[in-house]
Each structure stands twice: as structure tokens, then as C-alpha cells.
Structure 1
Amino acid sequence: MNAQDALFSQLRVVEVGSFVAGPAAATILGDLGAEVLKIEQPGQGDLWRHQYRRPELPQASTNYLWLLTGRGKQSVAIDLKTAEGRQLLHRICTQADVFITNLPVPARTGLGVDYQTLAALNARLVYASFTGYGEQGDEKDEAGFDTTGWWARSGLMDQSRSDPEAPPAKAPAASGDHLSALSIFGAIVSALYRRERTGLGGYVGSSLLANGAWQNAVYIQAALAGAEFRPIRKRSENWNPLNIHYLCSDDRWFMITINPAHQALHWSAFAAVVECPDLLTDSRFNTYDARLKHSVELIRRLDDAFVRRTADDWKQRFKGTGIVTSVVARAQDAPNDEQMKANGILVDLEGVPGVPTTVASPFFIHGENKRVATRAPDVGEHTTAVLKQLGLSAEDITRLQDAGIVQSRDR
């Protein structure tokens, strides 16, 4: 697709942030055709560029973290700690439609990227702010990562235990950040819609805490309603034997989910598929209430059944029954997932040797195609081109480079 035909091809986005939550919102806008200028500190740039070598993450020679979040962007390396660097950014922002930042709020004024400063320069600018814990209250200036502000603080981490004695589970890397990016994207698009009506930009925002609460909203709403929380139970003692996972002969897990309202409808078919016809006549299991009462015995019985076949075999056997199931997938399975490919969840990536595919932003707009994903930039790769667009001469740019105010690394 021609980039000029994309939905947001006339949109210029300026991103001043690091790591994932704010920058990933800019990635989504870029997928839909926006020009995204990522402002980075000269030198090492965004620290997210260097995180893929962390020992707890999958090891690869390719910087897969950066190619995902940085794809399709232009890198402009400017030292915002200098007055002249801030002036350059302000000139860029006068021509921008959206500004995205997840810098700590107290730091924004000193760097000249606070809302009041940029709104005074460009009344049509949509300013998107992302923080750890919101912009009011005693914790408004606290730093946060998704592991703390989204996962731990929201209660999600506490609920993610395999049994009451197990410690809380750690969230997958950047999972809260990628979910949070969708809320910032939604806020930005809403503000752009309002700008079409009023001609004015505005200030929008979200936080890790807000997104964590939204993800955990069922349980938080239960607490708000004064509900009595049941203790976490071991898998082998689960309340509902038809809404848990079972180990198969190939050491893969297989997930069954039969809603309580549908169990009477599906119970006969389920018993036939798992080759346990006696379940239909056993008074411990032939009604929903009986299955709850005797859940431990039923789980034990089904453990013995599921371990006889592979997970893929079970998936095939359940097809056409109307019973909802899934093999518990691993990330390593995704490159061969034909369903993801068929639905544009995995898409072509250009310009990254050995990595032909990437993960698309998670929605489609009928009649609008996403821009072909391209490689992430080097630090300062587009500095010269962007400064020339501002009217700076080659001599001006050389002087700024020599002074360390900008960095240019043209390919």
C-alpha cells in the first residue's frame, strides 16, 4: 500500500518518551500511516533499544524489542537539556498534530515539553500524557513500570497464583505496556475527532494504574460491591472442572471452557469426546451442582482421560461440538500459527534481515489498509532530513552536531 493512501498519512506525531507504553501508541498511529518522529537523546537513545539482552528474556542476535516498538518511525536525536535543543523541538511541534510523552511530569517543564508550553505554540496539538499512577494524588510523581503500576498495584499479580501457597506470578515482559498503549491511542483518536469539530487540540492521558484497574475491573467491582472473595484453590481443587486446563500425553496443556449456563447442553457431547460415557450416569457428575460438589473427583477422572492423547489430537476431537477449547500455546508456536497469519495478526516486516514478520496492531478498520511495517531506525537516522525540513542549512546542522546538541546518523 502507498503510505500516502493510509488513513493517517497527513498526521505528524512527535514522540518524546522511553520504553513501551507511550511509544507503542505512536507505533499504532504509524501502522495507520502517520509520520512518527521519535525524539531521542543523542548517544544511546531510548533505553528500550538495549533491553533485549536482559538474561531473563529470549536471547537473539536481532534486537526484537526495538524492531517491534520502533518500527516505521523516524529517529531525531536532540539534546533537550540544551536551550537550542528545546527550541528545535518547539519548531517541530508547531508543525505536529499529536505529541506523546511518558516522561515523568516534573521533568517535562525543564525539558520544555509540558502541555502549557506546547499548547501555546500550537493550539491544534493533541497532547497525550502517560504516567505510572495518574496526575493527581500523593503518588502522581512516582515512577512506574508495568510490573509495578499495572500488574502489582492493580491486584492482577495477587490473583495470578497456581495455588494459595504459591507466590504471585510475574507478568510477561511489557504486557501491560502494550495493553495500555491502546488506551492512549483511543484517547488520541477521540481528541482528533473533537478537533475536527472544534479546531482545537487538547490534553488527554492515561496511566498504568488506570489500565491495570480496567484489566482487573471484574474483581475490583466485586470489592466495590462488598463481595466475599473465595480463596484461591489449587488446580486439582478448582471450583469448576470444566473451566481449567488438562495435561496431555505430549506434555502440552489443553484448556476447556464450558460456561455454567451451557453445561447441560454440552455435557453429553463432552463425555463422548473424552471417552468417558460413565460420566453421564454417575450421580456425582451428571448435574452442574453435583460436578461442583465433587469437583476434585471429576478433575482426577479427567486428568486420567486427557493424558491419553496429545493436545492437538484433543483439539481435533472437540471440533464441531460447540465446546470452546484451546491448546495452551507457547510464544514459540506463533510463527507457524496460520490463524494469526490469515487474520493479519502477523504481518510482513521489511528491512530486517532474518526477521520477515512482526506483530500487527490488534484491530482492523474495514476499507483501510495498514502501512507495510518497516525496520526501526538507528539513533538520529533522520535528524538531518527533519532539520532540513525546518529550514536549517547544512552549516547550521554541522554546527549543532559539533556542539553535541543533535546527532545525525544517516544511512
Structure 2
Amino acid sequence: MLHQALAGIKVLDLSRILAGPWCTQNLADLGAEVTKVERPGLGDDTRGWGPPYLHPPEGSADGDGETGLSAYFICCNRGKQSVAIDYATPEGAARIRKLALQADVLVENYKVGTLRRYGLDYESLKALNPRLVYLSITGFGQSGPMADKPGYDYVFQGMGGLMSYTGHPDGEPGAGPLRTGVAVVDLTTGMYATSAVLAALLRRHATGEGEYLDIALLDVAVALNANQASNYLVSGKAPQRSGNAHPNCAPYEVFRCADGHLILAIGNDAQFARLCEVACLGALATDPRYASNAGRIANLPALRKLLTDVFPTRDRQSWTQAFDAAGVPWGPIHSMEEVFAHPQVSHRQLVQQAEHPVLGRVPMIRNPMLAGSGAQALAPPPLLDEHGRRNGS
């Protein structure tokens, strides 16, 4: 089963916030033993990123004064062991070197050069453990004019271009650049980092050699532009903010019905023809202005006006039943409450519970990579230094 694919692999996790912990949580979900090194007394910054917090059940022992875990920390730190070590002290650096000697993978996201001052950089640890896969996650990479600068996800959503075309166009209510609702650059960096670690382990299996991996949030932010970047490189025209519309497909956006909104996602001409039939706009399917996707993009304002006028004539249930019958792609816009009440989400068992000895049940989202692996018992996120205290270190 995939959830044991990395059984026997030891990961030393010196990362904080989201990108690094997202990567190491993936590795833990795949069966690796992950030891999370945290600052004594403080821990990962996200332990304080609340509310909300998950507290111990009322009336239970609180475990040495523990007040709970932030929901933010919970989302990216399950399945790990926590030990508190101050790497800036000779004793702490020595402990980390000892852990690195037994590790297969080390993940860190400190500023360039920070760990070198304590003999914890790749070259120093490679001399002790030549098989070590050492992953550094930074804002700008290990070299270049900005390599020494820190950076957070929000900075790279702007700097990498994503916010330049995300938001309502100028002249519309609420016009201006917008960030996404979650830290997509951090999360995508964590996924790229996971892939890089797995590739390095596969290469090590063939060669016996470790690897140094340099993953930068700026690189990921630029790559994340995907088709928008390709559109620019091919045409020389920068993408503009288009609200909920798609730059390459139409109609592909949100429309208001009589009692709310729905997403229409037309991906080809046949789907558009079926939409026109359902909407009693059959002539549009053969109209030269709209028959092809390129024509619909070129004439989108006029097409949008036609659809904006017709959608409010029926409620969402009427539209969606007709769309399902005709094979027209559409989607709802759910609140979190509706997401987790949805029968497909329930069927896929996306919400999992882990049992913590102090906090009780900890709700989490199952890793999508493990959908075909059957039920697994998830290990909860750790309290600060939980395993250091348990092991008496």
C-alpha cells in the first residue's frame, strides 16, 4: 500500500510555517518517520497562528499545561515527532548532527547561510552522511541578487505575477489585484519539494549517492502561472484581470441564477452547443461569432450579456438538472459546511480523525495521494517537544 511506500525512510524536518511542513507531512503520509526539530519554548511559528485552536476535552488533563494546537499547525504537521533543540548552541548543533547521521532526508527552510554557521549545511553533513538527501526551501534560491532575502507566500503571489491577473478588471466594482484564499505558492512549493525528494531517493537507490535540492518559492510562483505564462511568452501580451472568467475558454465563469450562483465550465464546441440547446439559444451554436472557442473569446462581452440575461430566468436546481441531463459541465460554489456535508466528500472519506493522548480527536483532511490505499490510522500532529519529553532527551 502507498501509505507504507517510504517505510524505513527517516526524515529530519528543520522546516517551519507551510511549504516545508507540507512536504514533510506528505513524506509522513507515505510512511516515512519524520522528526520535527522545533525551537525550545516556542516551536514552529504556526503553533501561534490562531484562533481557532483545538483544546483538550473539557475535564481532561492538559498535558503539562498545553493549551492546544492551532488549526493552522494541525493542517500540515500530522504524523511527525516533535523534539525541541536549539541548533544555535554547540550541544544543540551536535544533537542535530547525530540525528542527520541516521537520516535519509533533511528538510530546512532557513535563510541562505544560516545553518552553515553551525556546521549544519549540506557540505558539512554530507561529509558525515554521503547518502543524505538535503532539501533547502528558500524564498529566492541559494544564489542570485536576492538570495539573502526572506519571503512569504503573499510576497510571491505578487512578485511571481499571479496577482496581476487575479481579481476584477479595472472599471468593475472591487477592481484590483487579489491574492488567492490559501497560500498556493507555499502549498505548491511543498508539492514540488515532495516530488524532488522522491526523485532524489529513487536516484540514490540506483547510485548510492545523496543529493542537494534547492527549491525556491519565486521559481514555483513563476512556474505556477502555467498557461498564463505560456500565453504571455507566445503572444507578448500580459494577461489582464478577468474576474471569474477563463483566459482561454468561454463561457467558463460564474453566472447568477434566480436563487444564487453556479459555475459554467464549457471546454469545447460540442458542450457549448448543448448549453445553447438547454438555454433555448440554439442559434448561437451555429453563429460564426460563437461557434468556435476562439470566436467566443473574441466576442465574450456580447456572449456574457446574452447568458447573464437568460440565467436569472430559472433557479439553480432547474438549470443543473437540465445541465446534467445534457452533459453540460457545471459546478456549485460551496461553503465549508456544504463541502464537508457533500455525499461525494463523505464517500471519499476525506475527513479523517486521529486520536491524541491529550487533545482527543483531531480532525484532518486525508492526503489525496492515498485515496486508493484503503483506510489508514493517522498519527496526530505533536505537541511541542512531545517526543523529546517522552524519550527523556
TM-score (norm. length: structure 1): 0.81
Q: Which amino acid aligns with 2:306?
A: R
Residue 382 of structure 1 aligns to a residue whose secondary structure is: helix
Structure 1 residue corresponding to 2:95, chosen from 74, 88, 93:
88
Deviations along 1:352-373, one digit per CA (max 9) or x if unpaired, are 968664223332486x568532
Task: Among all aligned residue pairs of Structure 1 and Structure 2, give the percentage whose two residues are the same amino acid.
Answer: 27
- 1:256 is matched with 264
Q: Is the 8 A contact 2:165 2:177 kept in 1?
A: yes
Q: What corresponds to 1:361 in structure 2?
A: 367
Q: Count the aligned residue pairs.
A: 375
Structure 1 pair 41/160, CA: closer, same or farther in 2 (3 Å)? same
Q: CA deviation at 1:313?
A: 4.5
Query: Is 1:163 matched with 2:169?
Result: yes
Q: Distance in 2 between matches of 1:239 and 1:96?
A: 46
Q: CA deviation at 1:90?
A: 1.0
Report whether the alignment pairs 1:295 with 2:304: no
Q: Select the residue among 334, 348, 354 that pairs with 1:349.
A: 354
1:267 shift after superposition: 3.8
C-alpha separation between the residues in 2 aligned to 1:276 and 1:60?
A: 52
Per-residue deviation, 1:193: 0.6
Q: Distance in 2 between matches of 1:111 and 1:315?
A: 61
User: What root-mean-square deviation, in Å, do the aligned CA atoms of Structure 1 and Structure 2 show?
Assistant: 3.1
Alignment-derived partner of residue 105 in structure 1 = 112
Partner of 1:244: 253
Q: Deviations over 1:354-402 (max 9, x none)?
A: 8664223332486x5685323211111101445x6xxxxxxxx4xxxxx
1:244 partner SS: strand
- Counterpart Cα distance in 2 of 1:27 and 1:236: 34
* Distance in structure 2 (CA, Å) of the matches to 1:281 and 1:191: 53
Question: Partner letter of residue 133 of structure 1?
Answer: F
Cα contact 1:241–1:299 (8 A) shared by 2? no
**Secondary structure of the residue that 1:129 maps to in structure 2?**
strand
Q: 1:199 to 1:343 in 2, by over 3 A?
A: same
The 10-residue stretch of structure 1 (347-356 or 122-131) with the greater mean CA deviation from structure 2: 347-356
Residue of structure 1 in register with 2:203 after alignment: 194
Q: Deviations over 1:140-182 (max 9, x none)?
A: 1110111112x11110111102112521102223222111111
Q: 1:49 aligns with which of 47, 69, 75?
A: 47
Gapped runs of 5+ residues in structure 1? Answer: 54-58, 389-396, 398-411
Q: Which residue of 2 aligns with 1:316?
A: 321
- The equivalent of 2:338 in structure 1 is 333
Q: Matched residues in 1 for 2:107 and 2:4: separation? A: 20
Q: Specify the code of the residue in structure 2 equivalent to 1:37.
A: T
Residue identity in the other structure for 1:336: A
Specify the code of the residue in structure 2 equivalent to 1:47. Answer: D
**Partner of 1:168: helix, strand, or coil?**
coil
Describe the shift of the 1:7–1:219 C-alpha distance in structure 2 as closer, same or farther (beyond 3 A): same
Aligned with residue 127 of structure 2, among 113, 120, 130: 120
Counterpart of 1:39 in structure 2 is 37
Distance apart, 1:295 and its partner CA:
3.4
CA apart distance, 1:310:
4.1
Cα 1:379/1:161, change in 2 over 3 Å = same
1:314 Cα deviation from its structure 2 partner: 3.1
Counterpart Cα distance in 1 of 2:225 and 2:8: 37
Structure 1 Cα separation of the partners of residues 193 and 389 of structure 2: 29
- Answering whether residue 229 of structure 2 is matched by residue 220 of structure 1, we say yes
1:378 matches 2:383: yes
| 2:189 corresponds to | 180
- Point out the more displaced range, 352-361 or 65-74: 352-361
C-alpha spacing 1:284/1:355, structure 2 compared with 1 (3 Å): farther
1:15 is aligned with what amino acid? D
Secondary structure, counterpart of 1:307 in structure 2: helix
2:320 pairs with 1:307? no
Q: 1:376 to 1:227 in 2, by over 3 A?
A: same
The reply to whether residue 133 of structure 1 matches residue 140 of structure 2 is yes
Q: What is the CA deviation profile of residues 190-241 of structure 1, one whole-angstrom value per residue up to 9, with x for unaligned ones?
A: 1111111111211113111111111103233343345234654567999965
